Amino acid sequence: MGNAQAVEPKNTTVSDKVSMDELVALCKRRGFIFSASEIYGGINGFWDFGPLGVLLKNNLRDRWWNDMVIAPPIGPDGEPLQIMGVDSSIIQNPKAWVASGHVDTFNDPMVDCKLTKLRYRQDHLVAVVDERNGQIFAFYQEALEDKGTLKKLKKQAGTDELEKLKVIPFTAIPASDYGKVIGPDTDQKGTLTEPRKFNLMFKTYVGATATEDDIAYLRPETAQGIFLNYKNIVDNMRVRVPFGIAQVGKAFRNEVTPRNFIYRSREFEQMEMEWFCHPDEAKKWFEFWTDARKKWWEAVGVSPANLQLRPHDKDELSHYAKAGVGTVDVEYRFPFTAPGFGELEGIAHRCDFDLTQHEKHSGKKMEYFDDSVQPPRRFIPHVIEPAAGLTRGVLALLAEAYTADPSRPSQMYMKFKPSMAPVKAAVLPLLNKDGLPEIAQKLYYSMRTKFMTEYDAKGNIGKRYARHDEIGTPFCITIDTDTPKDQAVTIRFRDTMAQERVALDKIETFVQTALKE
RNA sequence: GCGGGUGUAGCUCAAUGGUAGAGUGCUAGCCUUCCAAGCUAGCUAUGCGGGUUCGAUUCCCGUCACCCGCUCCA
């Protein structure tokens, strides 16, 4: 996820209007998202989707699946792309996570400064050793290029001849020598704690014996389940490179600090697609997918003003992406990052890292033989990966939709794009008598087979409109006392509160047409 | 994991070392001819655990959760 960047909003955005407190309160009050195990006091970093939340999440997920697997985009050459779906197991052979690098690199040893309460990643620090007296200074690598740091170092070491000091990785300093270490933000010795590991993968045990030999991991990303099936797809599914494999599913990370509602939770859902191509074409496809993915977020209702593409800095790139054409994040201006942005999706060139690793560890050939060109060639495909956060996408849609409007009873409404709205239409008899409920129910039974519809006869009509504003229902259809006579109903539009009279037998088609826009 | 803050009905907010009250919401009924109208009845709370005390929602300790900052984030 991106560094929050100080970008001035060009115009009024949703992020200026909604506070997270208001959004979280609405999500609970209207049944979008609840804290997990709430009656037991909750559990840090886990959330439950309520009736409205799961409808919204499924709408976003289904749209992604449709636009990736059912009807993938037309490629840059005008040819339709080939993408297939899988649904792999959450638990795999633990060797898969050794091969992918997660067992080793999902450990981040940290040291704390007891004095300043600051925390540092051990492997991001360097040790400056004064061999004359054994004194050790710890600094961030990049801080050594800072004049102030160098000045402090000269002063503390009591010499101007810094070249006499030896710079080595801090990881090379044994914990028993920490007593001689002066931390980055203090001038006292011995304030750093021993490094502590934070393993970000959830462990579990397979089988009943639960010994160390039975350890397995909950997947920290869905991507590996795709690489593990790459060979099955190539061998059995009559595909040619380039092609893609897509998957939606849960992933688990034991985050040090879950924060910001569902933005960083320990159990979350990803929508990932791995695009396999020839190494020479990686750049072309990277650019294609970057563009396609940003447009997709706009298509589901995220305003371009709240979206940005942010290329990763070189030192920010993942281990697998260092040699590639790079990584770009699609970022959204979340309420808690505004005026900066936070990651919604990452498009990464993973090179051939994963397939090569699995080839090494499994002993199975991952090479692809391409005889569609002359001369025929063998290669391990490179991968372009658009990896989106479904959970984060839901949060973006919620934040984007929240619209204050003091002129209406609800004071606000959820301006979902109609196709994403949890409830598409509500059927409301104006009165609970005079045959109105009978007409309304008949319409409701018909409409609910086509799209999510609610029947609501409780309270007066104003209260019902207000509730549907709060859950973002784009269309309310009211059956009134004229309906039995003129066979027409009133449709009320969420965003404008305007009303229109439509024939009873045309209303369903009317809504269906409106949902496509 | 560290530091600071918070924790009373679904929500917003009162009160108190002596058994918690309002508004709103919700439920049922009446009523109701298009934007939270009205009437009647009803439901719902001191996060959890321990201590001090005759008695704790109130004071103390612990814990859990949330918020802010740090840290981290394939």
- The answer to whether the C-beta of A468 is closer than 7 A to strand B is no
- The answer to whether the C-beta of A408 is closer than 7 A to strand B is yes
Q: What dihedral do alpha carbons A506, A507, A509, A512 form, nearest 10°?
A: 170
- The answer to whether the C-beta of A38 is closer than 7 A to strand B is no
- Domain A423-515 sits in CATH 3.40.50.2300: no
Q: How far, in Å, is the CA of A112 from the C1' of nucleotide B18?
A: 49
Q: How confident is the model at residue A108 (pLDDT cuts 50, 70, 90)?
A: low
pLDDT at A365 over 90: yes
Question: Strand B: which of residues 363-382 in chain A lie with Cβ below 7 A?
Answer: none
Strand partners, A276: A243, A383
- The answer to whether the C-beta of A409 is closer than 7 A to strand B is yes
- The answer to whether the C-beta of A36 is closer than 7 A to strand B is no
- The answer to whether the C-beta of A318 is closer than 7 A to strand B is yes
pLDDT at A167 over 90: no
pLDDT at residue A115 in the model: 66
Helix, strand, coil percentages in chain A from 3-state DSSP, rounded to 5: 35, 25, 40
SS3 at position A156: helix
pLDDT at residue A119 in the model: 66
- Domain A56-105+203-399 sits in CATH 3.40.50.20: no
SS3 at position A93: coil
Nearest to A129 by CA among A83, A166, A95, A164: A166
The Cα A310–Cα A270 span in angstroms is 20
- The answer to whether the C-beta of A244 is closer than 7 A to strand B is no
Which residue is the nearest neighbor of B7, CA to C1'? A41
Q: How far, in Å, is the CA of A389 from the C1' of nucleotide B24?
A: 37
Burial label, A108 (beta-carbon count in 10 A; 0-12, 13-18, 19+): middle
pLDDT at residue A366 in the model: 96
Place of tokens 């009134």: A480
| Assigned token pair, A498 | 């305007």
The Cα A64–Cα A85 span in angstroms is 11
pLDDT at A106 over 50: yes
A310-352, pLDDT tens digit by residue? 998 876 777 676 678 889 999 999 988 888 899 999 999 999 9
Q: How far, in Å, is the CA of A114 from the C1' of nucleotide B66?
A: 26
A407 CA: nearest nucleotide by C1': B35
The Cα A424–Cα A426 span in angstroms is 7
A494 CA: nearest nucleotide by C1': B35
Nearest to A293 by CA among A312, A264, A271: A271
pLDDT at A15 over 50: no
The Cα A417–Cα A265 span in angstroms is 26
Q: State pTM to two decimals.
A: 0.86
**Domain residue ranges in chain A:** 56-105+203-399, 107-198, 423-515
| Assigned token pair, A53 | 């939340």
Residues A180 and A190 sit within 8 Å (Cβ to Cβ): yes
Those nucleotides of strand B lying less than 7 Å from any protein Cβ are 1-3, 7, 10-12, 25-28, 31-37, 47-48, 64-74
pLDDT at A11 over 70: no
Q: How confident is the model at residue A2 (pLDDT cuts 50, 70, 90)?
A: very low
pLDDT at A1 over 50: no
Q: How far, in Å, is the CA of A485 from the C1' of nucleotide B67?
A: 56
The Cα A507–Cα A446 span in angstroms is 11
Which region among A138-142, A210-214, A230-234, A365-369 has the lowest average model confidence (pLDDT)? A138-142
